[in-house]
Structure 1
């Protein structure tokens, strides 16, 4: 399943926070606005949308760890390729847990440290590619993501991988055999606030 399909399948309409929403000129944010017209969609990014020529409503500039949103406010929070940039992911998830309404949903995707393409690159080159970005702080496996979500009081609905293999900037589908199910490029998780 692709990241965006996973997001749409798991997101709960209503008040939605899209963290790191200006990546790729706000591509996913624009689609969320179009696909969920009755939802109130908020965005936060360290980038200034005006410098990118964008003008989203409900847009905040800043780091999610430093900015304040009200508690028990959002129905869904989406963090696409964001959590790996934080040195304090548990604090961040605790904060998001408090911002979600009871039954609210958190959807996360992060690079998969055990993706097949990363393991092949490491075996062949002997170089750790820091999951494609020098700003990545912490690398996630399925077990680490499960532990982190559980420690932050979330009930895990599903954790899976985007079943693709990256090679020279292109994504290729992997066979849908059980042996490949945990080796996709990114981990995708859906978790819920109890209550």
Structure 2
């Protein structure tokens, strides 16, 4: 987990910064400083703006006009642009990129392969695809995401009570990364699932990374969000544990030639 002293971070959480460092390190190690980067499902544009500060030419796209409006409002760099456009439309235009970021996106899609096929066409032959997703069998998805989805579906009155408690504790339905209305997870990936998914879509994974451990699990999350040293320690613990215990996967994909 590295940080660049000269850069400021829009993310406060150590786990989010860790993910951002993984992405920027992967791209910086393989591409030129002025390379063309596509940030798919960019949300509020946090990743796009960070890469822009490193000198990359970044296009952030999202189908949510609400998030793109937010991203444009926060952007001050001429080398970073945001558009309400689909990846399919970029392919139709013939646009290709040196690297593509697909961060915390695939878990929201009913058919992730359909997007990956499009990204394959948008990526230059020697380009990199950076994919980050929650670990579908990790602590956060097992003890938070899945129970919440089931509770909301089957117990409306209990869910309403939970929402009131979360609101009182300062939790919101959006994230720093996205202000989209629906952030539900419909895919729950294990490490082996990602390896199969990449192979099925003519990619191979050349590097894996880990997110945090139990920081996102309540009540630890309530304490950890106020104490940065606990967040740092939690990320270090995740690095030491087997992959199945991490809260999320970071991965670098290359095209199979």
TM-score range, shorter chain: 0.7 to 0.9
Find the counterpart in structure 1 of residue 200 from structure 2: 151
Find the counterpart in structure 1 of residue 131 from structure 2: 108
Q: 2:20 aligned with 1:4, yes or no?
A: yes
Alpha-carbon shift at residue 118 of structure 1 (Å): 3.9
Count of matched residue pairs: 186
Find the counterpart in structure 1 of residue 213 from structure 2: 164
Structure 1 spans left out of the alignment, 5+ residues: none
Which has a greater percent of strand? 1
Distance 1:31 1:148, change over 3 A: same
**Which stretches of structure 1, 4 residues or longer, exceed 6 Å deviation after superposition?**
none
**In 2: Cα distance, 1:92 partner to 1:47 partner:** 16
Find the counterpart in structure 2 of residue 137 from structure 1: 186
TM-align CA RMSD: 2.8
Which has a greater percent of helix? 2
SS for the counterpart of 2:137 is coil
Equivalent pair of 1:108/1:189 in contact (CA under 8 Å):
yes
User: Deviations along 1:83-126, whole A, 9 cap, x unmatched?
Assistant: 1111111111111011111111000111111223444559xxxx
**In 2: Cα distance, 1:176 partner to 1:91 partner:** 31
SS for the counterpart of 1:139 is coil
**In 1: Cα distance, 2:235 partner to 2:81 partner:** 36
Equivalent pair of 1:43/1:59 in contact (CA under 8 Å):
yes
Find the counterpart in structure 2 of residue 31 from structure 1: 50
Which structure has the larger Rg over C-alpha atoms?
2
Q: 2:102 aligned with 1:75, yes or no?
A: no
**In 2: Cα distance, 1:62 partner to 1:85 partner:** 17
Distance 1:78 1:186, change over 3 A: same
Find the counterpart in structure 2 of residue 92 from structure 1: 115
Structure 2 spans left out of the alignment, 5+ residues: 2-17, 150-172, 174-181, 226-230
Equivalent pair of 2:98/2:124 in contact (CA under 8 Å):
yes
Distance 1:85 1:121, change over 3 A: closer
Correspondences of 1:28-67 after superposition (within 5 Å): 28-35=47-54, 37=55, 39-48=56-65, 49-50=68-69, 53-55=73-75, 57-64=80-87, 66-67=88-89
TM-score (norm 1): 0.80
